[in-house]
Structure 1
C-alpha cells in the first residue's frame, strides 16, 4: 500500500473523509478484493486515530464494500458477478427517470459539453487509462442527472455508481468492445439533438445493458476456462 504518498486528513469530518478515501481505494482496486483491513495500519497511513477508521469501515460494510468475517477480521468484499444485474437495472431505470426530468432543460451547450466529455472517454480508452475512462464516463451521465435537479435521485445514483465503477474497473482490461460505450454515448447525444426523448431513454438503457452484457460474457468465459491465454 502507498504509505509514503497517503493523503493525510485535515478536514473536520474525519470519519467521512476516511470513508471517502478508503472507498476510492476499494473502487480503484488499490485495496484488492479479499484483502484484510487492519484499522491500526489504516489509521497510521491516514494520520488519524483508529475510531474514525472503525466508523468508516462500518459504513463501508453497510454499503457492501467490506465484509467482517466470523473471526472478526475485516476484508475488502470480493467482486461477485452474481447480483450485478440488479445494480445495473436500478441504475438505468433511475437514469431514465433523471433524463425524463432533465429533458426540457437540456440545451445545445450541454450537448457540446457531452460531446467533449465523450471525446475524453475515447482518448482514455485508446490510451488504456481505465480510471480516467470510467470517471469521464460518469461525468458524461452526470450532465443530465444534474439537470434533473433531483437531489435524492443524485444521491442514490452516486452510491450505486461507485459499485458499478468498481466492477467496470475490475473488468476493464479483460472485456472486449469496451469502446462501444463511446458510440452509445454518441447516439444519446444525437437523440437529444433531434428532440427524441423516447430514443434518448432507450439509448440510456441500452448503454448500461450493453456494459452488463459485455461483463457477463467475460464472466462466462472465465468459468468455462476460455480466457486462460488472454
Structure 2
C-alpha cells in the first residue's frame, strides 16, 4: 500500500497557517513594533516550530505589506504607510460591501444574534478602554456575513489586506473614536435584519471607508 500523503500535508498546512496567524496578530496588536527586526531563528524558538513555517509566514506577511524584507539581510515590521493603508482600506471596504450584498436577507437568526453579541462586546470593550478586545469583537461582527457568503475569493482578499487595515483600526480604537463605529454596527445589524440589501451595503462600505488614510488623522 502506498504511503498516504493527505494527513501529513494537512498537518503542515495547519502549522503554516497557525504560525502565520500568530505572527500576523503580533504585528497587528503591536507586540512587534514598526521597524523591529524579525529573525526567523528567534521567532521559531518563540513559537516552538522549525524555521521553515516561519520563513513561509514572513513571505506571506511581506505580500500583504506587514513586513519588509531585504534579501540576504533582514526582515522588519513595516510602518503604517498612508498610501498602502488607503489602498488596502478601499479594497477591504469593497469586499465587505460584496459580502453584505450576497448575504443580507439570507442571514439566519443565529447569525444575526452573533453580530449583536459581538457588538455588545465591542461596546463593553470601548467603555473599558480595551482596544484589543474591541478589535476582536469588531472582527467577529464583520466575519459573520463574510463567512456566510461562502465566497473563498472574497475571504482570500480579506486575509491578505485586512491585517493592514486592522493595524490602523487598533490605533483608532485606542483613541476616543469608537462611538461612530458602534453606531454603524447597530445600523448594519438593523438593516440586515430588515433585509435592506442596498442600505446595508452602503453602511458596510462606509464603515470601512471611514477609516482615515493615515493612522491617527482624519
Distance 1:112 1:45 in 2: 37
Task: Single out whichever of 11-20 and 38-47 deviates more from structure 2.
Answer: 11-20
Distance 1:49 1:217 in 2: 35
Gaps in structure 2 of 5+ consecutive residues: 1-10
The alignment's C-alpha RMSD in Å is: 2.2
Deviations 1:178-212 (A, max 9, x none): 221111011112222333222111111221122x1
Deviations 1:98-126 (A, max 9, x none): 11111231234433332221111100111
Residue of structure 1 equivalent to 2:8: none
| Contact persistence 2:27–2:66 (CA under 8 A) | yes
Residue of structure 2 equivalent to 1:91: 92
| Contact persistence 1:106–1:147 (CA under 8 A) | yes
1:26 deviation in Å? 1.0
Change (3 A) 1:38 1:153: same
Corresponding position: 1:20 with 2:18: no
Aligned-partner SS, 1:68: strand
Corresponding position: 1:49 with 2:68: no
Change (3 A) 1:108 1:54: closer
Q: Which has the higher contact order (CA 8 A, sep 6+)?
A: 2
Deviations 1:52-101 (A, max 9, x none): 32232222222222112377121111112223122111112111111111
Change (3 A) 1:190 1:59: closer
Gaps in structure 1 of 5+ consecutive residues: 1-10, 221-230
1:31 deviation in Å? 0.8
Aligned length: 207
Residue of structure 1 equivalent to 2:118: 117
Distance 1:127 1:202 in 2: 29
Distance 2:155 2:200 in 1: 19
